[in-house]
Structure 1
Amino acid sequence: IPHGELAAEIAHAIIQAFAEPFPLDGTPLSLTSSIGISIFPDDGEQVEALIGHADRAMYAAKGEGRNTFRFFNPRMHFAASRRVQEENDLRRAFEQGHLELHYQPRRRIESGKIVAVEALLRWRHPERGLLPAASFMRLAEETGLAIPMGEWVIVTACRQLAAWQRSGTSARIGVNLSRKQFLHPQLEAIATAALRNAGVDPGCLELEVAEETVMENAGRSAERLRRLGEIGVRISVDEFGTGRSSLPWLKRLPIRSVKVDRAFVSDIGADEASAVIQAVIDLSHRLRLEVVAQGVETEAQLTFLANHGCDEAQGRYIGAPVPARELAPFLT
């Protein structure tokens, strides 16, 4: 390629080509792409250097949301070194037991009873304190750590639920599945083994899958959800309202509930957000799906949800995520 402008045009054309849906076994599939570009001789004169710099630029494109391209610049050396350090820190944290689960309660709105908890992954970083999963899960997915970490979460959550059940609680436990974990071919086997080893009924485990992940490949997701349904676990669509799915389509799958995205809950009072929530609740109930509202932060929000028939609520107004020992008294 004779110059950078042409490289940019080609990169843009490639991204556009992959964005167009194409059929795979009869199912439309769309892909995102991230492209890195290095220029000879400005970015290096050896093939190895040019490839390495293009690779760093590609990771920069991924870090900016994917589906874009970036040219290499020298500042990426620092970013690459920092990324390697963060990867090593995360891997060491996982191996040395510095990851932990906190649990956030979900309340049945009508009765006020805590009927479920959501297991939320945290990293107790020696310098940065307690970090939420959102701050490191992308790194975990890019480095292959998402699968073993996800398995650890399912196993640990099932063990904790078994301990609570021995104390008399009947609450369910919910676990978020990352994109890669949802697509992993051994997911059913991992969940089945965790439930069996903990002695927990499958119906007490709720696996939460983001709407965006489900709709990334509808045909493949439908098959995976059916296989999960066959082992008896509950399935919930998380962050509902942010993707392209429809409730009638979801009803054909073994889904028990939808979790309304917190963005709509936070805007309760605004006409559009309130109308969306009311519509989701009404249609979900007609399809015999339960509705969970996420991010409930105020009494006014909870009152609105109660008046419109929402089934369950989760958020800091209900209870913040806490270690298991702090939540136990509220489950009895």
Structure 2
Amino acid sequence: MLRFFTIGRTIAIFLGLLFLVGAAGLTLFLVDQKRTTLHDQAVEGAVWLSQSGIQQQLAIQFGDQKVMQEFLQRFLNRPLIASAAIFTAQGKLIESRDRSGETGGSVAAFSRVRGISNVQDIVEQTLPDELTGKPFLNLSIPVFSYANPMLYGADKDVFVRELAQARNQGAQHVLGYYQLGIDLSSLENELLEYTWRVGLTCLGFSLLACIILVLITRKISAPLSNLAQLASDISAGRLDRSFKARGTGEVYKIGAMLNMVLAELNSYKTRMDVDNNLLSMKVEERTAQLSKRNDELNKAVAQVTRTKNRLRQLAYYDSLTSLPNRQLFSEQLQLLLNIAKRDNIKIALLFLDLDNFKRINDSLGHNAGDALLREVAARLSGCIRESDLISQYFDNESRIDISRLGGDEFTVVLHKLEEKGIAGVVAERLLDALQTPMIIEGHEIVITPSIGIAVAPDDADSVEGLLKMADTAMYHAKTTGKNGYRFYSSAMRGTGVGRLKLEAELRKAIDQQDMVLHYQPQVDARTGEILGAEALVRWNHAEHGIIYPDRFIPLAEEMGLIVQLGAWTLLEACRHSIQMRDLGLKLPKVSVNVSSLQFNAAFIEMVEQVLKETGMEPQYLELELTEGVIMSNARSSTEALLQLKNLGVSLSVDDFGTGYSSLSYLSRFPLDELKIDRSFVIDYNKSTNGAKLVSAIIAMGKSLNLCTVAEGVDHNDQFRFLSAQGIDVIQGYLFSKPKPRDEFMLLLKSNPYPQQIKEILSQQD
């Protein structure tokens, strides 16, 4: 038995057994190769079909079911493929078909097949069929397109052109997926038949090739093992190993070639890693630059927006009051007039001008004037209700309900005017809003407006025309007492032109000294002696004759000519007084009225200069100031009056009783005389209180050691009443109207008043 099992036999048996095992192994190998071949043929064929032109790309992109069914049938015509389906790139089933030709066959879930695989990979998953339970190999193949379906999928022609143009470009985009079901049971049946044929063939050759196979196995088993491991490492992505073989056989050459491939792959992988790092760094750098540029751009946009808003504010809004200016007012009012004309509605324009505003600037300075304008703007805005506005047609940035046209001129626009009276109600509110005194730089000031109202389209249908009519109405409001409003009427037509002509003539008259002085005597109520005269300016107009001051003095104040006119009046009065005394005429004093716009620091210097220039002795000059002038700033007025008093002139309070004097301040002023306003003299006998008031003023003047003068005395009974109350001086038509200088000089010579007073008093007896 032992001899039977010799080394050779043992080797033979071993080799026989080994060959049998080898034959069996070869059979299994060939079967496996067959299986692999069948699998690869199915997969490669499917892949080839999935990449067979742009027709299927168009069908998937635009949902052509007929074409897709044809493609699915082509897959089913191949062996082993039992079902086929098409999915979108997002995994939504488009069409499915099985070998029976029926659509909607059983298809494995897309998410189970694809899993988390890369969208571009071909994925294989063995899953049981949901209906039969048989194992199926599910093959998922992506369908690529050289054109981006998200950019060119809307238009088929554009998509086709883009596919044709992009054929040679590298970028590809996934359009969808083919999912094929390979019946593994059919594959196994085909392999079983093949296994029998191969097994028998291998068994027949096994004995003949035993030794050869043993030798070959000995020579190639080890290198083949290394090659297998190397292949496994390569497939797993491990590229850090190399193939080690000795000799010069084919295996060695294959190993050397594989080592070269590994070296190239390692080098390529290294370069890719470096390139990826560089690319990441560049992306981060570019992202930082773009972020910085974006921040800079945002800042620039914000700056441009601020500049735009600032330019709009400067172009359309008043810098002092922040109200719309003339530019915005004109543009928006024109739009409003167009709307009013289209809708057949009316709008009203209220034109406001502050009375005696120049006096504030001249007496308190422009800073106080600016503060006053701001306060006026706030009050006017506060008393306009939403129902009066035009905001339903313009946004808040363009509203022109209250606008400042310039200087002390303001406008108010009322929209959808139902009747004229509504504009009057608003005007009353505006007047009331300014009645309350304002505290400006410590001074209590009351400013009044004159308001002109024009209605479109009744009075005018253009911006220029409406402004002109409202301005004309405002001028009439000023000439009729100020602090009121007037509606424009056809009777006012032409007054605007007349006013312009009058302004031009007044300026010329002052420059050419076409003014003259008239004098009204001031008579001692007891003796009839002429104690002085009030110098009253008249305009000797070449066409209209003598024009009285109530017509041109307010105009001169508005035009800024009152200072020049007042200086001329003072100079002429002083010259005339000296001339009368040089002729031997007795005139104890001459009184000159001082406008509120004159009374400032420069006025004191001007009085001193006139006295020096004319040689007038100060005691012969009396200056008459109204209560409003003195009380506008009591502290500064006290200082100014003291300076005038130091010059030696006399000071008189004109129109006493019509203002708002405080007796405590009045007692501190260095005054010499109180002139009772003519309105009290005229109304003394109309009520008991009127007479008592006149008596109280006279008694107060005497208690302050002031000379009391009653002006406007025209009748004997007025004189007798005032004389009985102890009045000191009488001035009025009872004795004389204001007379030119020559006539007044004759009056000084004759002086008929002592005899006239005796006759008046005798008539009383």
Which band: TM-score by shorter chain?
Answer: 0.7 to 0.9
Q: CA deviation at 1:300?
A: 3.2
CA contact (8 A) 1:247 1:284 kept: no
1:297 aligns with 2:714: yes
Correspondences of 1:185-200 after superposition (within 5 Å): 185-200=601-616
Q: What TM-score does the superposition give when structure 1 sets the normalisation length? A: 0.86
CA contact (8 A) 2:520 2:731 kept: yes
Inter-partner Cα distance in structure 1 for 2:512 and 2:708 = 38
CA pair 144-109 structure 1, distance change in 2 beyond 3 A: same
Q: CA deviation at 1:102?
A: 0.8
Q: CA deviation at 1:318?
A: 2.4
Correspondences of 1:178-217 after superposition (within 5 Å): 178-182=595-599, 184-217=600-633
Q: 2:666 aligns with which of 250, 273, 292?
A: 250
Aligned to 2:546: 130
Give the percent of matched residue pairs that are identical in Structure 1 and Structure 2. 37
Which whole-Å deviations, capped at 9, do the CAs of 1:202-235 have from their partners, x for residues lacking one?
Answer: 2221111223443455455444434433433211
AA at the equivalent of 1:144: G
Which stretch shifts more, 112-121 or 294-303? Answer: 294-303
Which whole-Å deviations, capped at 9, do the CAs of 1:52-72 have from their partners, x for residues lacking one?
Answer: 554444434333433334565
CA contact (8 A) 1:33 1:67 kept: yes
Q: 1:177 aligns with which of 594, 606, 631?
A: 594
CA contact (8 A) 2:530 2:587 kept: no
Q: CA deviation at 1:266?
A: 2.8
Aligned to 1:145: 561
CA pair 45-185 structure 1, distance change in 2 beyond 3 A: farther
For the aligned residues, what is the CA RMSD?
Answer: 2.9
Aligned to 2:529: 113
AA at the equivalent of 2:708: V
Inter-partner Cα distance in structure 2 for 1:141 and 1:52 = 21
Which whole-Å deviations, capped at 9, do the CAs of 1:232-266 have from their partners, x for residues lacking one?
Answer: 32111111122222444312111111111122223
AA at the equivalent of 1:320: K
CA pair 262-43 structure 1, distance change in 2 beyond 3 A: closer
Q: Which has the higher contact order (CA 8 A, sep 6+)?
A: 1
Q: CA deviation at 1:322?
A: 1.2
Inter-partner Cα distance in structure 2 for 1:195 and 1:152 = 13
Aligned to 1:236: 652
Inter-partner Cα distance in structure 2 for 1:131 and 1:230 = 36
| Structure 1 unaligned spans of 5+ | none
CA pair 306-130 structure 1, distance change in 2 beyond 3 A: same
AA at the equivalent of 2:740: P
Which stretch shifts more, 157-166 or 26-35? Answer: 26-35
Inter-partner Cα distance in structure 2 for 1:220 and 1:36 = 35
Aligned to 2:513: 97
Inter-partner Cα distance in structure 2 for 1:10 and 1:223 = 42
Q: What TM-score does the superposition give when structure 2 sets the normalisation length? A: 0.40
Aligned to 1:83: 499
Q: CA deviation at 1:269?
A: 4.1
AA at the equivalent of 1:104: Q
Correspondences of 1:20-39 after superposition (within 5 Å): 20-36=436-452
Write 1 or 2 for the structure with the bigger share of helix: 2
Inter-partner Cα distance in structure 1 for 2:719 and 2:470 = 50
Q: CA deviation at 1:170?
A: 4.5
Aligned to 1:288: 705
Which whole-Å deviations, capped at 9, do the CAs of 1:85-127 have from their partners, x for residues lacking one?
Answer: 2222322333333310011111122332111111011122334
Aligned to 2:680: 264
Q: Secondary structure at the match of 1:153?
A: helix
AA at the equivalent of 2:568: W
Q: CA deviation at 1:4?
A: 4.5
Aligned residues: 331
Which stretch shifts more, 125-134 or 190-199? Answer: 125-134
Which stretch shifts more, 102-111 or 120-129? Answer: 120-129
Inter-partner Cα distance in structure 1 for 2:514 and 2:576 = 17
CA contact (8 A) 1:211 1:245 kept: yes
CA contact (8 A) 1:27 1:219 kept: no
Inter-partner Cα distance in structure 1 for 2:680 and 2:492 = 37
Inter-partner Cα distance in structure 2 for 1:76 and 1:329 = 43
CA contact (8 A) 1:104 1:119 kept: yes
Q: Secondary structure at the match of 2:679?
A: helix
